[in-house]
Amino acid sequence: MKLKGMNKQGLGIGMIVFLLGILSFFYWGNQKEIWFCDEVYSYESANGFEQDWPAALVDQWMSGEDVEAFFAADSDSLSLNDITVRLYNDHVPLYFWIFRMVSFFAFKGSGSIWIGLSINLFFYLIVLGVIYRIFLYLTKSPMASGMVVLFTCIINRLMLEQVTTLRMYMMLLCLELLLVLSGMWILHRADTGTLSPGAFISLFVVSLMGFLTHYDFWIFYAASAGIFCLWLLVQAFRSGKWFSAFSFRVVLAWVGNFIASLLMTIVIFPYCRWNLNQGKGGTALRALFDFSAEKWEYIVWGYRRQVAAVLGEGFPTSLGLLLLFGCIVAGAVILYRKSEQKKLRNLSLTVLICQAYQLVVCFTFPGASEERYLWGPFTIMVWCACYGGFLLWQQLFSFLPKQNLSGICKRIGAVVLVCCIVIGQLTVMDGGHGIAYLFYGAKDVEVLENHSKTPWIVYGSVMDAYSYYDLLIPERLCFLTENDTPEDAAAIREIIDKEQFILYTTEAYYSQAMDFFEQALDKKLSGEYLMRSTNLLIYLVSDAEK
């Protein structure tokens, strides 16, 4: 892809955008708190095989450092195979291998949030560079390209959700984007009547990485390969040659590439066959034959979430879809009228891929709708809408009769549009409260840190992965069962000299816990509600007589 616009201005704006992206990443990264259970499972899957869950050690006083050891890489070997074996019926392992390697080489003995954030940063910067380059090619305007990156990758709630979640979603977006670009590269080479080894090597590498990153990538790959190959088959049919057409040979090469990447995936992670046959694949296949009214509701939910993810929870769905698809359709019409056939084809196929993926994922939800599985295609759709919007913007101002008037109106309009987008996105972000999984609004970590020297007790059947990262804070911590055993009572008596302790429990167990503590300590206690930590309530328990 030759970039005629990559002059000093293009390079300068690119560097500014890159720097802003890094600054934005560290700004939001420093606000990151771990409360989402899947983020805890990232640590558990990558490093937790070295020891049991701390909650399994009931009636034993430990420290936050003991809990952190569970989150950290402590052994002397990478033990990637241990991760592979643990994931046989769960996820594919590439992200967790990377998580383990980053933990092992850069954060040995630490359960830092920056293990996951540093992985996200790597793939985030790739996306920034790729999107800036694409739009510089499409628009020939460094300023417009920089603005697209700024508003879709930096000042953007949807991107920040993927950036700040300590899971594989940023990596997944990057690979989905690169998969689409690999497909476009193959189509471009097919137009010239040549098979490019580089294009198919790129397709193989991206496919293999994607297959090992998330099972939903398999759906995205199926949508991409199906739509790209269908286009090639249509070209073969239109040529009149059919099986002897060059585009048909390209399809055969794609099929061979898929078989090679699939076989390599199975060699690297043979357990994926179980998940495809009996696990997630089996569940999705059964869901395909369920045509209940609930399925329609999931599809409608997907479009509601698409608008909410981009424009905010309160934005009308119908208006949001009109804006999103209106820009895309308008851009497609303009490209058609300008006879920009290849750009029109790439835009249309990309939108079809995202829509096919979204419909399949929403239709095969096993009973719980999860927006994070749609983040990647939502983001790609935003980029498609931005391109369509740019073309529409140019077309609107081309109708003005005088060049000077057109330039002035375009600059004024650009300022107004920029202000509206910035204000809109800042409102959607709501100081971070609008960013999924950034932090839990009801929980004040600073208050918990102020009680780090106070003993903490987790009571009942509440090995709650959502709140597990909180437990790195205290200097003394104990897990108690709800059975109120003599061993539980003995553990409680170890803090009989303390005037206060922190209690993590559920509302259902609170009264039982307080009665047990009073009996074990032989004194009257009072509990002050502090806050909520997802599924658990936090109390400061004190001696009622003081």
pLDDT per residue as tens digits for the range 105-146: 999 999 999 999 999 999 999 999 999 999 999 999 999 999
> How far from chain centre, in Å, is Cα 387?
23
User: What is the pLDDT averaged over residues 163-172?
Assistant: 98
Asked whether the predicted pLDDT for residue 6 surpasses 70, the reply is no
In the chain, what's the furthest Cα-to-Cα distance? 93
H/E segment holding residue 512:
helix 507-521
H/E segment holding residue 540:
strand 536-543
**Rounded CA gap, 123 and 133, in Å?**
15
User: What is the pLDDT averaged over residues 141-165?
Assistant: 96
- Per the prediction, the chain carries an average pLDDT of 92
Predicted confidence band of residue 317 (pLDDT cuts 50, 70, 90): very high
Q: What is the pTM of this model?
A: 0.94
Q: Domains of the chain, with CATH numbers?
A: 445-543 (3.30.110)
pLDDT per residue as tens digits for the range 187-210: 999 999 988 899 999 999 999 999
Phi, psi dihedrals of residue 212, rounded to the nearest 5°:
-95, 5
CA nearest neighbour of 372 among 66, 10, 39: 39
> What string of DSSP letters covers 180-202?
HHHHHHHHHHHHTT---HHHHHH
pLDDT for 399: 66
Beta bridge mates, 542:
500, 526
Which tokens belong to 464?
């709650």
Please indicate whether residue 89 or residue 401 has the higher confidence score (pLDDT).
89
pLDDT for 296: 87
Please indicate whether residue 253 or residue 241 has the higher confidence score (pLDDT).
253
Amino acid identity of residue 411, one-letter, is R
pLDDT for 241: 81
Predicted confidence band of residue 101 (pLDDT cuts 50, 70, 90): very high
User: What is the pLDDT averaged over residues 356-384?
Assistant: 90
Q: What percent of the chain has pLDDT over 90?
A: 78
pLDDT for 320: 96
Phi, psi dihedrals of residue 508, rounded to the nearest 5°:
-65, -30
Predicted confidence band of residue 411 (pLDDT cuts 50, 70, 90): confident
**541 — alpha (psi -120 to 50), left (phi > 0) or beta?**
beta
User: In whole angstroms, how far apart are CA 260 and each of 100, 345, 529?
Assistant: 27, 27, 58
pLDDT per residue as tens digits for the range 450-472: 999 999 999 997 667 889 999 99
Which tokens belong to 281?
């694949």
